[in-house]
């Protein structure tokens, strides 16, 4: 008995499926077997925004935050989060990450987090880039909560991915630099 039959609009960059890969015919969750898939180079870039307000941005720029260097703590936490994605997201595979890079752009009232992750594996690295971004954002909140509780985390999303059977994906209006950060 088929429980799954999905039809989606291809113009929205969604994939047509007859069956969801993480649900068996009984409707139970399962980990996808990627053992027969070829190992290829994979890369993903994600971003997130932490809205802090302009006063907090100035506090960060002047290195006057009560808990120390906010961005370096967030960078290390985000890299660690990317490395542990498989332990946090139940159906993710453990990937041998070749590289994780987390960059920050300080704007007038917000911090933009850009995370790139790469691997040579038989499954994609999007979740690692997204997790790295999310953990970095949560760390920024933690490092700044003594200053303000009105900090907002928003717009965590995949900017691009490359490699694998499904091909490349680029979010609308995104141009990347070669080193993996947003232009």
**Residues belonging to the active site:** 142
Length of the chain counted residue by residue: 183
Give the three-state DSSP class for 59: helix
Show the DSSP H helices in 84-156 as ranges: 85-88, 126-144
Strand order across the 169-170 sheet: 97-106, 110-121, 40-51, 152-162, 169-170
Straight-line distance from the first to the last Cα atom of the chain, in angstroms, rounded to the nearest whole number: 49
Closest CA to 180 of 107, 124, 102, 121: 102
């Amino acid at each position: 008995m088929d429980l799954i039959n999905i039809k989606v609009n291809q113009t929205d960059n969604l994939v047509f499926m007859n069956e969801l890969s993480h649900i068996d015919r009984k409707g139970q969750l399962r980990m996808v077997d990627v053992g027969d898939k070829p190992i290829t180079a994979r890369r993903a870039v994600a971003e997130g925004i932490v809205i802090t307000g302009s006063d907090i941005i100035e506090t960060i720029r002047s290195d006057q935050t009560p808990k120390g260097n906010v961005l370096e703590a967030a960078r290390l936490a985000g890299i660690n989060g990317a490395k542990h994605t498989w332990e946090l997201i139940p159906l993710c595979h453990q990937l041998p990450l070749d590289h994780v890079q987390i960059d920050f752009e300080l704007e007038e009232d917000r911090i933009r987090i850009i995370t790139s992750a790469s691997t040579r594996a038989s499954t994609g690295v999007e979740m690692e880039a997204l997790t790295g971004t999310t953990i970095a954002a949560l760390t920024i909140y933690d490092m700044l909560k003594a200053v303000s509780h009105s900090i907002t985390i928003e717009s965590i999303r995949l900017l691009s991915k490359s490699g694998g059977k499904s091909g490349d994906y680029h979010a609308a209006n995104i141009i990347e630099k070669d080193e993996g950060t947003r232009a």
